[in-house]
Copies of this chain bind each other. A is one copy, B any other.
Amino acid sequence: MQATIRKATKEDLTAIHELVVELAIYEKEPHAVTATIKDYEQAFDEDIFEVLVAEINQEIVGMVFYYMTYSTWKGKMLYLEDFVVNEKFRKSGIGQQLYDALLEVGRQKKAVLVKWQVLDWNEPAIKFYKKNSAVFEVGWLTCKKYL
C-alpha cells in the first residue's frame, strides 16, 4: 500500500499525539504520556522536533518523530524518538516507507547516523530493524533524572 509521506505541520499534532498514545498502550505504559498537545505545539514552535506523517486517503495512519542530535564520536546524528503505524495499517509496507523517508531526511541534513531505542520484547519491530541492517548496541545502560 502506497502512502503519501510528508512533513508534519502544527495542525497534525493532534493526530500525532493520538499515535503516541496508541504506541504507549502497545508498549504497556498507557498512562505514561503526560505531555499534552499544547506541550507539543510549544516545542514545535521552538523547532525542537520534526515529524514525517504517512497518509492514506488524507488520513494520518503513521509517523516518525525525530530530532537532530550530536554524537561526539561520529558527528550529526538524527534521533528517532517514536515510530508508529496505526494497528489497522501494519504489515502493509507503510512502516518501510516512513523508515526510508527518515533515512533520506538524515542524508539531506548531512547526519552521519540515525539512532533509536526499541523494547526488548517488541519482536515485530526488532525483526523490522534487523531486516533493515540496523546495528544493536550492547553494554550501555540508559539513565534519566526528572527535574
Give the interface of A toward B (CB within 8 A).
20, 24, 29, 32-35, 39, 43, 48-49, 65, 67-76, 79, 81-82, 103, 106-107, 111-121, 126, 129, 132-137, 139-147
A144 CB contact (under 8 Å) in B39, B70, B115 = B115
A24 CB contact (under 8 Å) in B48, B73, B141, B147 = B73
Q: How many copies does the complex hold?
A: 2
Q: Which residues from chain B contact A140 at a C-beta distance below 8 Å?
A: 117-120, 142
CB distance from A99 to the nearest CB of B (A): 9
B69 engages A67 (CB within 8 Å): yes
CB distance from A95 to the nearest CB of B (A): 14
